[in-house]
Amino acid sequence: MNRRLPWATFALIAINVVVFAWQFFTHGFDSNQALVDHGALYGPAVLHGEWWRIVSGAFEHGGVLHIALNMFALYQVGAFVEFVAGRPRMLAIYFIALLGSGLAVTFFAPNQITVGASGAIFGLFGALVAIGIRMGQAGRSLIGQTLPIIGINLVLTFTIPTISIAGHVGGLISGFLAGLALLMMMPRRVQAQEQVEADELAAHPQEALVGAAETGDVHEFAAGDGHEVTEEDAR
């Protein structure tokens, strides 16, 4: 199978890495205040008009391990969604989930200082379920492979204190709904070769998903008041 290169996924990873390098060289994650000063998502600031923090916070991270795990997950699931749903739909799902995640944090956990791409990444996992539903019987294997990964990461979300519950759940729901809506707009008749390749991936989704399942690697860092940022906090 001739798989197209996931350029949109590569571009998102590059943006995250560039932002992280800027944080690194400007001490952007040395403290809560440093995170906020660099554009972290912080509910009170958002509600006072700084809506751009919903986007900027999703491209910042709390440490080396934090970004490494998230970028690995983004590569795994982003490339898969981009291949099956197409580049424009993958990007649309990513940013809709990013916004849904940020709004969920703003309104349900406003006092958390939150950074990380994982809300949007959770949205891509949600979109995989939507893709499986759209494929019908051929998508059952995809759904069966995706749900345990979502379950593992939800368990981590609800058991690790520094992970944003609102961000992950908001991103997951937003991505699933966006995936359903965007895929419903696709023509019923798709090009034969694309459908064959999509069915093949759906039948063997472990090629793209096994890495994420092994590491449980979707994390969004949320710091509480007075919480100092360390590398371990980003786990």
Q: Is the dihedral of CA 10, 16, 17, 18 positive or negative?
A: positive
H or E segment to which residue 56 belongs:
helix 53-56
**What is the rounded distance in angstroms from the CA atom of residue 48 to the CA atom of residue 51?**
8
Q: Which residues contact 59 (CB under 8 A, 6 or more apart)?
A: 15, 16, 19, 117
The number of residues making up the chain comes to 235
Q: Are 113 and 42 in contact (CB under 8 A)?
A: yes
Q: Is the dihedral of CA 226, 231, 232, 233 positive or negative?
A: positive
The encoded tokens of residue 71 equal 């970028």
Buried-exposed string 10-33: b where 16+ CB fall within 10 A, e elsewhere: eebbeebeebbeebeeeebbeebe
Just list the catalytic residues.
118, 168
